[in-house]
Structure 1
């Protein structure tokens, strides 16, 4: 299984299109949550994904520190529905955290997690740093891993 990590400039038009399509399919359509998916943060982010036969099966974006938060952030974490419960989300997060630690030389990572995934992210060492709040109508919690 080959994971790819690319800057915005390195993505092909087809990869970018497929990534945005899957993010919209999951976050807007599947979760019935109309919100502005394109937020002008993709251009400064790293894009980590597993692609097979032109299909994006798992994806997240890694925002360098200072782009959105004081810390590096991992967001837009998705696994296409038919590939869930096969360990892809865990492998995706392990790869993202490794990239942050080894390539970006950062130890602290902040995420805005959907509250029902609190335990999943907790398994990677993330701890809540906020109360649960609504973001686009969905309960979220801010979480952090690494030195405070």
Structure 2
């Protein structure tokens, strides 16, 4: 999988369409969760895209501290369903952590993780903080990587 990082202005229309479609396929359709994915925050984000054969098959968006949380953050981490058993979730997460270090010069990262992924994020150095909560009807927990 090849990784590419772009800010919003660097995305071309095909890339934007592809990443929004991937997010919608997984977060809205697959997880059966009606929510406003296009939330007005993409313009401030770094977009970390994983490609195979030219197609976006993995994605995450990153924010500098203060743009989403008080700390830098990663969100919308997603891998196309037929690529999930290949370790691409780990690769896109590592690439997002690296992007935050390189672009924002930050090491402390906060995420809002779906609770079933706690072990996955712990393997990347994140630790749970606080209590579980519901976000768009899905159980979540805050996690910090310092």
Deviation, structure 1 residue 52: 2.8
* C-alpha deviation, 1:54, in angstroms: 4.0
Aligned to 1:124: 124
- 2:8 aligns with 8
For structure 1, which segment, 127-136 or 51-60, has the greater mean C-alpha deviation from structure 2 after superposition?
51-60
SS at match of 2:85: coil
Separation (CA, whole Å) in 1 of partners of 2:130 and 2:35 = 22
Matches within 5 A, 1:1-148: 1-146=1-146
RMSD (CA atoms): 1.0
Please state how far the C-alpha of 1:103 moved relative to its aligned partner. Answer: 3.0
Per the normalisation by structure 2, the TM-score is 0.96
User: SS at 2:9's partner residue?
Assistant: coil
Normalised TM-score (structure 1): 0.95
1:42 positional shift: 0.2
Decide which structure has greater helix share.
2
Residue 78 of structure 2 aligns to a residue whose secondary structure is: strand
Q: 1:9-49 CA distances to partner (integer Å, 9 max, x unpaired)?
A: 00000000000001001000000000001111100000001
Any gaps of 5 or more consecutive residues in structure 1?
Answer: none
- Cα deviation, 1:57-100, whole Å, max 9, x if unaligned, reads 00000011111111110000000000001010111111111221
Report the Cα distance in structure 2 between the residues aligned to 1:59 and 1:88, rounded to whole angstroms: 10
SS in 1 for 2:130: coil
- DSSP 3-state at the match of 2:66: coil
